[in-house]
Each structure stands twice: as structure tokens, then as C-alpha cells.
Structure 1
């Protein structure tokens, strides 16, 4: 489903990723851990095609992301990927329902599932609220609902429980597992939380020498 081949990336002369290769299978839930600054978020951005590697390739279903023009890459992200990033990127001028429905509308699908996804993340009955009325943890849950609403084939999650209390975080992780299993989707979750990582099928640690599998 997803293959990384000899990825390299540097910023300002500092090498962040070097010769990184790994294969992710369809349907598996993978957690990536590692020290701050080692390149975990950079790796997610490269996988998503939001950033370009200096060297190497990202293959999605055998197709190099670098072979896609901007429009094709946008269509691929919009239809096949879901994103949960630390900055949330919730649109302030849209209601919660409109924010969550956006991937469906962009893909030409009916928006009916948006309301049920808001309820699934604990925000039922708040469809017409605006982001300014929410806490940081609630905004994170809106971003999670939006990432899942169109049943993406690949979910990319950067610290998806970082702003949540332990009980809410556990419920959200259960939802991520249930949604990805139901659709046969793959998921890659960057996290510092060992409790969150324990929900994954595999745990990888990103180091300067690449991705290493671990059991804890």
C-alpha cells in the first residue's frame, strides 16, 4: 500500500531523514515514536505529499508521489487520505458540521455522515457551533472527525490525543481503530504516548538511522 524508498530530507543544512526505507501494509495500524526533532512530523508531511523529500521516493499503491502533478496529488490526498495534524487546521468561518463535511463535499459525496462523526467524537448536538466556541481538546476532536468522515484508505495522525484527557484519549483511540478496521484502512500515528502506541498493531521508533520495530 505505502512504501518509502531511501528518503532523505534536510533543513538548513541539518539532515533530518537519511536513507529511510520502510513498507506499510494495507489495513495495519502503525505507531511511530521517537525523540523530539528526529523528523516524525516531517515524515508524515512527506508521506502526504505536503513536503517533498530531497532524495528517495514515496510509493502509494506502487505509484511514485513525485510522478503526480499538483492537481493529481491534491485529488489523491483528498480522496484517499485523512489527516490529523497538531495545528488542527479547523476553518474558523465554518460551523463544526461544515468543517467535518468538507472532505465529503470536495469528493462529491453527500454530507450526511458528518453529523454522526461529530457525535462519535463526543460533540453531538454542536453541529452549528463555531470553532471559536471550542477548547483546544474539542478542536482536536473536530479535526479527528473530519479526517475520518470520508473513510480514507490511509489515515495520518500526528499526536491525535495530545490535547485530550486520558479517558477521552482512550475513546478516541478506540474510534480510530474501529473506523480504520471497518474500512480496511491503513493508519500511521505519530505519538509520544506509550498508552496510545499500545493500541497499534506495530510500534516503530524513528531514529537517525531509520525506523526500527519495537515491542514497547
Structure 2
């Protein structure tokens, strides 16, 4: 039986008295599954991503990536797991301005001690092979997000975390980027979580989960999500 890419078990997180963000949250994510997490502002969507990424620690519960509980690892082992198993796509791109595109994409390969050759192939996959020696300042927002997707996928991580990846893009470019992210995630077998406020973005996901009252709720459709939010 294939292990889930991600398991969150009874996650709890609070910020001071009376401000519970997560209250016993459970969910499982399988390989090649692309989910969207929606919810009102301030409910903890980005906090959940930060917990999964190991940028913050839960007050209770555990997170397993590829069957390994992150909280039970040493700091060094946890860092290595994040570096090998996770890929990140941010709203603000976070490309390094002094590096060429191919150098930006190659960063995860270098950090993992891998050959940098796949960086060229990933740039080709996102339609930027002929721009690999350009610097980020020469690119549009949509092109920068393509670089960010290539960088997130180049080392074939088990899990992609995308935090509002199209928030800075126009609708047409956002549509193209989301199609690319979905296609490349499926092609590499990675699991992906996308936090978004956009119904159009969520429509690209295999399923939509709504974060409310400290836990995740399955939304059979975006219409169901909107109906629940209106109550």
C-alpha cells in the first residue's frame, strides 16, 4: 500500500488565550492529488502551510511526510526532509535577483547535492528554455511564477505547497499558471496543496477543503462552499 504524501493528525495551534487557529485538524493527501484550501481571511490557512513546511510548530498533534513524523526528527534531519521532500510556490515569487533563471531553478538541486542538468528540462517544461540565461528583472510576473513553479518541482519533491500563487497575476496569466502547476504536479507524481481565496483558482484542484472553526471541511463543490459561507 502506497504511503500518503502527507498526514496531519489532530493538529492544534493557538496564538494566545482565546485565539485558537487549529483545533484537532486531520487530513491526508495522496500522491498526485491537488487540493485547494479556502476560507475566510485570518482563519489560519497560511498558518497551516507554515506548520506543514516546518516553519512553525504545532501546539499538539503531528505531521507526517512520506510516513515520517517531522516532530520526531532532529533539527538537522527535519531540515533535510524539508529540503528533499518539499517544494514551495509563493505569491511573491521569491526568485533570487542576482541569479539567472536556470541558476534560480537549480537552487534545490544544489542544496540536495544533485546534478543541475534537470534545471534546463524544467525550464523547457514551463516554456522558458530560451530565457535560461536571463535575469529575473527581464521577466513579467507570469514568467517569474513559471520560474517559481520550475524551482519547486525540479528536485521531484513529494509535496508542493502553494500560498496564493496567482494573487499577483492577471486572470489570463493566472489560468495558464494554474494549468501548468496542475499538469506538472501530475506529471511528477507530487501531491500539492494550494491556499487561495480565488474560486477560479480552486476550480483547478481535485477537491476543495474549507478551513473553518479550526478544522478542514470537505466542500463537494465551490457552490457548496459559497452556500456554507453565506450562512
TM-score (ref. length: structure 2): 0.85
Select the residue among 14, 19, 26 that pairs with 1:10.
14
Deviation at residue 136 of structure 1 after TM alignment: 4.1
Q: CA offsets per residue over residues 139-193 of structure 1, 9 Å max, x none?
A: 3332222101122111111111222222222222222222222222211111111
Select the residue among 159, 168, 173 that pairs with 2:164.
159
**How many Å separate the matches in 2 of 1:209 and 1:100?**
36
Deviation at residue 122 of structure 1 after TM alignment: 4.2
Map 1:63-212 to 2 at 5 A: 63-212=68-217
Q: Which moved more, 1:129-138 or 1:202-211?
A: 129-138
Structure 1 residues without counterparts, runs of 5 or longer: none
For the residue of structure 1 that corresponds to 2:98, the secondary structure is: coil
Alpha-carbon RMSD across the aligned residues, in angstroms, is 1.8
CA pair 10-137 structure 1, distance change in 2 beyond 3 A: farther
**How many Å separate the matches in 1 of 2:178 and 2:125?**
12
**How many Å separate the matches in 1 of 2:47 and 2:142?**
23
Structure 2 residues without counterparts, runs of 5 or longer: 223-231
**Aligned positions, number:** 216
Contact 2:37/2:194 (CA < 8 Å) preserved in 1?
Answer: yes
TM-score (ref. length: structure 1): 0.91
**How many Å separate the matches in 2 of 1:153 and 1:187?**
9
